[in-house]
């Protein structure tokens, strides 16, 4: 059977023509079979609840007492694939969700969309790699290793691209929070010393720093909303520290919790901590300035020494070569 396929596809696709055709057919079959395998069966209890809810809404509509309290959200098309696209382990799900929150993606479907992006990009670029491998094998002879790399490298890039993007977003957001935190503390200290409470100062700081540091403003705004909703202030501050993932924010939260627990003045705690944050920012700037000459040394040597050697030694080398040719 293999010789039969080789005789048919060998001229167009080379010696690996049957393998390529079988691979393409396998991918197509996987794409067709995946929705059927991932289709989630409806729970009979869910169908019963939906039926009861529908009957109740019909009865209200007949009586003319239907009231719409809030807008209905569109149903997520990926919800029926949630068992496949979301980690079933609670710790793994929480770790992915925390990473996405630190990157700025707080939607309830963020984990599902993240895994779907990895799957879709991986499968899409895998199909593109297979097409490229078919084209390359049709034009000239291609080794097995080269063909495998042509197929797998795009698939790996597609699978890792969302993870790389989220990691970069997390680092950029942490850097933004670190840069804006000293200014936010100074503004919060001014608000507290002016007579405002800590809750009011957080709201004011969130509004004032949004133009320069939107990520930090979002964190303070979430804190203000959670406090207004009645959540415990200590838990709210700890959640902020976990969402930010920055050591300075964690230390600030510890200072506020200790100040509230021991009954000390929040203004004094903010004044001392804001002064330390300003000193820390100055020390970081001095550290970067001190490392600059070391970083420039290599570039200076590469751009200065070769031209200098050419200018100084070049004429002598030319004279020596000319003298040797004369002999």
- DSSP label of 109: T
Task: Examine the fold and report which residue of 172, 187, 220 is the final residue of a domain before the chain moves on.
Answer: 172
Q: Mark whether 25 and 135 lie in a shared domain.
A: yes
In a domain, 58, yes or no: no
In a domain, 306, yes or no: no
Q: Which tokens sit at 160?
A: 């890792």
Q: Mark whether 19 and 107 lie in a shared domain.
A: yes
Which conformational region is residue 230 in: left (phi greater than 0), alpha (psi within -120 to 50 degrees), or beta?
left
- With CA atoms as reference, report the closest residue to 163 among 95, 219, 211: 95
Q: Is it the case that residue 104 has pLDDT exceeding 80?
A: yes
Task: Examine the fold and report which residue of 140, 172, 204 is the final residue of a domain before the chain moves on.
Answer: 172
**Rounded to an integer, what distance in angstroms lies between the CA atom of residue 44 and that of residue 150?**
47
Find all residues with CB under 8 Å of 93, minimum gap 6, and list them: 86, 87, 111
Q: Mark whether 124 and 18 lie in a shared domain.
A: yes
Domain tally, the chain: 2
**Rounded to an integer, what distance in angstroms lies between the CA atom of residue 244 and that of residue 222?**
12
62-101 confidence digits (pLDDT tens) = 554 444 434 445 556 666 666 656 777 778 888 888 888 8
Number of Cα atoms under 13 Å in the Cβ half of residue 90: 0
Q: Is it the case that residue 136 has pLDDT exceeding 60?
A: yes
pLDDT for residue 56 = 53
Q: Mark whether 15 and 115 lie in a shared domain.
A: yes
CB 114 within 8 Å of CB 123:
no
- With CA atoms as reference, report the closest residue to 256 among 220, 221, 215: 220
In a domain, 229, yes or no: yes
Q: Mark whether 111 and 253 lie in a shared domain.
A: no
In a domain, 243, yes or no: yes
Number of Cα atoms under 13 Å in the Cβ half of residue 284: 10
In a domain, 291, yes or no: no
pLDDT for residue 2 = 47
pLDDT for residue 230 = 86
In a domain, 327, yes or no: no
Assign residue 241 the CATH number of its domain.
Answer: 1.20.81
Q: What is the pTM of this model?
A: 0.64
In a domain, 87, yes or no: yes
Percent of the chain with pLDDT over 70: 73
In a domain, 193, yes or no: yes
Q: Mark whether 200 and 250 lie in a shared domain.
A: yes
Q: Mark whether 122 and 36 lie in a shared domain.
A: yes
Q: Mark whether 110 and 158 lie in a shared domain.
A: yes
Q: Mark whether 20 and 164 lie in a shared domain.
A: yes
User: Crossing angle of helices 247-262/144-193, nearest 10°?
Assistant: 30
Of 179 and 64, which is predicted with more confidence?
179
Q: Mark whether 138 and 158 lie in a shared domain.
A: yes
279-316 confidence digits (pLDDT tens) = 888 888 888 888 888 888 888 888 888 888 888 888 88
Q: Mark whether 86 and 155 lie in a shared domain.
A: yes
Mean pLDDT of the chain: 78
Task: Examine the fold and report which residue of 157, 172, 187 is the final residue of a domain before the chain moves on.
Answer: 172
What is the residue range of 13's domain? 2-42+78-172
Q: Is it the case that residue 43 has pLDDT exceeding 60?
A: no
Cβ neighbour number for residue 137 with a 10 Å cutoff: 22
Quick one: pLDDT band at residue 168, thresholds 50, 70, 90?
very high
What does the pLDDT average to over 4-25? 58
Q: Mark whether 202 and 94 lie in a shared domain.
A: no
């Amino acid at each position: 059977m293999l010789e039969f396929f080789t005789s048919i596809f060998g001229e167009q696709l080379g010696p690996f023509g049957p393998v390529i055709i079988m691979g393409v057919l396998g991918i197509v079959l996987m794409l067709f079979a995946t929705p059927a395998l991932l289709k989630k069966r409806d729970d009979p209890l869910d169908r019963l609840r939906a039926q009861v809810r529908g009957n109740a809404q019909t009865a209200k509509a007949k009586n003319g007492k239907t009231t719409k309290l809030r807008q209905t959200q569109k149903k997520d098309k990926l919800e029926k694939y949630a068992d496949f696209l979301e980690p079933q382990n609670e710790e793994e799900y929480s770790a992915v969700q925390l990473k996405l929150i630190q990157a700025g993606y707080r939607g309830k479907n963020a984990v599902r969309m993240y895994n779907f992006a990895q799957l879709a990009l991986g499968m899409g670029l895998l199909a593109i790699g297979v097409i490229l491998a078919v084209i390359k094998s049709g034009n000239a002879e291609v080794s097995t290793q080269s063909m495998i790399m042509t197929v797998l490298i795009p698939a790996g890039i597609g699978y890792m691209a969302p993870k790389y993007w989220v990691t970069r977003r997390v680092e950029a957001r942490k850097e933004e929070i670190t840069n804006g935190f000293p200014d936010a503390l100074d503004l919060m200290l001014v608000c507290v010393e002016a007579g405002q409470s800590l809750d009011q100062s957080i709201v004011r700081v969130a509004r004032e720093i949004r133009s320069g540091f939107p990520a930090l403003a979002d964190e303070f705004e979430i804190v203000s909303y959670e406090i207004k909703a009645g959540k415990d202030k200590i838990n709210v501050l700890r959640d902020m520290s976990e969402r930010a993932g920055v050591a300075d924010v964690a230390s600030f939260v510890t200072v506020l919790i200790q100040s509230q627990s021991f009954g000390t003045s929040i203004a004094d705690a903010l004044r001392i901590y804001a002064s330390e944050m300003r000193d820390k920012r100055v020390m970081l700037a001095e550290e970067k300035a001190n490392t600059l000459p070391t970083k420039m040394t290599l570039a200076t040597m590469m751009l200065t020494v070769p031209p200098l050697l050419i200018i100084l030694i070049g004429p002598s080398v030319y004279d020596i070569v000319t003298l040797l040719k004369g002999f």
